[in-house]
Amino acid sequence: MQSEILVIGATGKTGKRVAQRLEARGLRVRHGTRRSKIPFDWEQPDTWGAALRDIEVAYVAYLPDLAAPSAHGVIAAFVKAAEDAGLRRVVLLSERNEARAQACEQLVKDSSMEWTILQPSWFAQNFSEGGFLEGVLSGEVSVPTSGAAEPFVDIEDLADVAVAALTEDGRTGQVYEVTGAELLTWDEAVAHIARITGRDVSFRACTAEEFGGMLIAVGIPEEDANFTATLVEQMLDGKNASTSDGVQRALGREPRSFVQFCQDAHAQGCWE
């Protein structure tokens, strides 16, 4: 019998899609979450061994973020645990142009495992099921951005790339920058949502301090809110204002457009 594939973060935006795709193929999936039958908790290393037991292939999404100051030490310990458990192949969710995340990537690259690194751009689904959903519903999306355009990626594409890397040969030792096909400013992206939904919604650039305050206001602890606000500001400073060919190289097709994402999200009732 084929061994299970471990999906760490199987209830997250990417992990749940990866798990669903694998299960739709009839593959056995071990859900790596705090509440799984065999739990996996990044903050509890004593859970890692059981979650990794008899696993050869794993999708790894680190919570809270590979750019977090704590991430390097945690990933170093995880790599050792994975090697000790006999993990053969790992697909790591990372970030574009983020030095701390790429230091974590290097730990995986230096391991004995086959690896594939995914470096996605900003998720389109953050507008439909993430931090900016409330902004869309209330009529104003606000984020600290330099005004640079972003190649918003549909997570459905990212999940397809992840599954291909987990289940097929020819993608190990590859770093895939997974982006959308076009560059859009935040104004343009929000305008697409407004046009397709018929909602009166606009975009307003804010400072990192304002953004952190918004996060604190919805109950996020101050330290986490300030870290997130600073990270978002850094991500949106213009260094990622370019498209890449990760989807094309990994899947042999073009990425889904932001308009396609909007149409699908609207049809699914995400903004009702």
Its CATH class, for the domain covering 5-120, is alpha beta
- Provide the pLDDT for residue 120: 98
The ranges assigned to domains in the chain are 5-120, 122-153+180-241+257-272
State the pLDDT at residue 3: 84
pLDDT of residue 210: 94
> Do residues 55 and 87 lie in contact, with contact meaning Cβ atoms separated by under 8 Å?
yes
Distances (CA, A) of 245 to 44, 80, 175, 181, 236: 37, 32, 11, 8, 20
CATH of region 122-153+180-241+257-272: 3.90.25.10
* pLDDT tens sequence across 4-42: 999 999 999 999 999 999 999 999 999 999 999 999 999
pLDDT in the model for residue 97: 94
- In this predicted structure, what is the pLDDT of residue 79? 98
Low-confidence ranges of the chain (pLDDT < 70): 1-2
Q: What is the pLDDT of residue 102?
A: 97
pLDDT score recorded for residue 130: 80
Alpha-carbon distances of 199 from 137, 139, 228, rounded to whole Å? 8, 8, 28
Residue 183: what pLDDT?
98
Residues 254 and 263: their CA atoms lie apart, in Å, by 17
